Amino acid sequence: MGAHTARQLLALCDLAGLGAAESAAYARAVNAALGPVSERPLNLPPVLPSFLSDDHTPVEFSLSFSPGRAPTLRVLFEPASGFGTPADSSLLAQRALHRLAGHWGISTEQLDAVSDLFLPDEPQGAFSLWIALELLPGSAPRMKAYLNPAANGAQHAERTVRAALRRLGHHHAEADLPEGDQLLFLALDLGDWPEPRLKIYTTHHGLTPTGARALGRMPGGPTPDELESFLRTAAGVAPRDNPRLALRPVQTCHGYTDTTGTARAFTMYVPVRDYARHDGEVLDRAVLLLDRHGIDPAALRDALGALTPRPLEDGVGLISYLALAHQDGRSPRVTAYLSSEAYRVRPPNIR
């Protein structure tokens, strides 16, 4: 599995303008953090039904596009995926994170402050710790840690998130949690970010395009029109229709960079794979969205070709999410989440 995902990572690094040596170092670092699963033959079933991707590959890529710049490549992975008991893999995952952080001189202070809340001795829920690296040409990567609010049981998710917010000094955000029907992740930017964010992800089951208008709570963030039109295009909803999106839910993320309780970043994630017939259709929608933001779609086409030789019409889910991301003072970004499909290609949806 590690060979498969490393080959994809190297190809994407090349597209994102990284040098051969740094790309190879990232591929090695990710495989080392994945642990034994990286050696596992792909003809054996996944060792764990990882929640990270639909086919349970513990790696997912994303390309974040903004106008006039090369896209930024990120890789999300589940360290120590499926190793031993959940307690074993959680412990190993924490070690892997600290090893990577140490290697690049990234401070884990924020994470360490809340580790006991999210990484208990007997972790529950669909995952325990994910790591994302933002891979920038010629400089150290930026790291993000994803934590599971349901680590102490789904019924305690809100309490766990609230405790973490208080601990990290975000009392205002705690008093005014973003809306949604499920708290899915709490993520922390670690290390040398211009403005490290604490991010809270929530789901919106059964959202309608007009319902999306009210999602963002970020001053200067996306307008109601932008949210509705992004969702319509991404999910393929005709102008007059207003259906509930009843399959996988739209998600949003509010990011806090200071302790005022005001979100400085906001992202809406549309799980396009449930709302399209095949990846050809998803790519067409992505191209429309990129176009609308003045972004050249060539790199996205190339990226899909670099991930797999299969025709886009033969499956759905190579692009798992399309997201619209706003952050204070920057131009909006469109992000495509890209699946490895190491284990399985989801057949096209028949409607």
Q: Name which position in 5, 31, 38, 53 contacts ligand TRP (CB under 6 A).
A: 53
Kindly state the number of chain residues that form the binding site for ligand TRP, as judged by CB under 6 A: 9
Tell which residue, 119, 98, 6, 124, has the closest CA to residue 57.
6
- Residues 194-233, one symbol each (x = binds ligand TRP by CB under 6 A, - = not), give ----------------------------------------
Question: Rule CB under 6 A: which of 107-166 touch ligand TRP?
Answer: none
**CB of residue 199 vs ligand TRP: minimum separation in angstroms?**
11
Q: Name which position in 26, 266, 321, 343 contacts ligand TRP (CB under 6 A).
A: 321
Helix or strand (DSSP H, E) at 302: helix 298-307
If binding is defined by CB under 6 A, does position 266 make contact with ligand TRP? Answer: no
Give the Cα separation of 146 and 279 in Å (integer). 27
Q: What is the 3-class SS of 132-184, one letter each residue?
A: EEEECCCCCCEEEEEECHHHHCHHHHHHHHHHHHHHCCCHHHHHCCCCCCEEE
Give the Cα separation of 264 and 209 in Å (integer). 23
**CB of residue 269 vs ligand TRP: minimum separation in angstroms?**
4
**CB of residue 320 vs ligand TRP: minimum separation in angstroms?**
6
What CA–CA distances, in Å, run from 236 to 215, 242, 243?
A: 19, 11, 11
Give the Cα separation of 341 and 90 in Å (integer). 24
Within a 10 A sphere around the Cβ of 105, how many other Cβ atoms? Answer: 9
Q: Which of 51-59, 92-100, 147-155, 160-168 is the region at the interface with ligand TRP (rule: CB under 6 A)?
A: 51-59
**CB of residue 60 vs ligand TRP: minimum separation in angstroms?**
5
**CB of residue 28 vs ligand TRP: minimum separation in angstroms?**
23
**CB of residue 228 vs ligand TRP: minimum separation in angstroms?**
20
If binding is defined by CB under 6 A, does position 343 make contact with ligand TRP? Answer: no
**CB of residue 327 vs ligand TRP: minimum separation in angstroms?**
16
Say how many CA atoms lie within 13 Å of 274 toward its Cβ. Answer: 13
Within a 10 A sphere around the Cβ of 23, how many other Cβ atoms? Answer: 21
Give the Cα separation of 71 and 244 in Å (integer). 32
Q: Name which position in 18, 60, 129, 204 contacts ligand TRP (CB under 6 A).
A: 60
If binding is defined by CB under 6 A, does position 251 make contact with ligand TRP? Answer: yes
If binding is defined by CB under 6 A, does position 337 make contact with ligand TRP? Answer: yes
Residue whose CB is less far from ligand TRP, 52 or 227: 52
Tell which residue, 248, 237, 250, 277, has the closest CA to residue 54.
248
Closest-by-Cβ residue to ligand TRP is 269
Which residues bind to ligand TRP, rule: CB under 6 A? 51-53, 60, 251, 269, 320-321, 337
